[in-house]
Amino acid sequence: MHDVRSSDLLTPEQLKQWRRVTEDQYQELLRQGMPVIHTDAGDRHSKTEVDRWFGVVPPGAPPWVKPEDISEAIRVWQPNYPRLLTQLDALEILLNTRALLDVLFPLK
């Protein structure tokens, strides 16, 4: 675990709001190993560590795909899906979006 500032810590409710997940999805994320810090005040999540955990770029991704792109794609699109999105789902969303933009706005 990296050095964590108290301003970086989120309650479970704050994390669910930020990551746009339901209680059931949150529980599944915990089962999958999402970083959690157990404190006397209750469980907390380092925003930095959680973002890093979500932002793993799948092998074979094009070089323009960055960890923050994967993490943000999951965060933005998650409310539209009942199941948890994975990093591979995020990569597919990013690649499809890029392909659509290439069709709509081709380079000259």
Report the C-alpha gap between 36 and 75 in whole angstroms: 18
**Does residue 57 carry a pLDDT above 80?**
yes
**Does residue 4 carry a pLDDT above 80?**
no
Give the tens place of pLDDT for each residue, 59-69. Answer: 999 999 999 99
Predicted local confidence at residue 3, as pLDDT: 54
- Tell the burial category of 105 from Cβ atoms under 10 Å away from its Cβ (0-12, 13-18, 19+): exposed
| 44 within 8 A of 10, measured Cβ to Cβ | yes
pTM of the model: 0.88
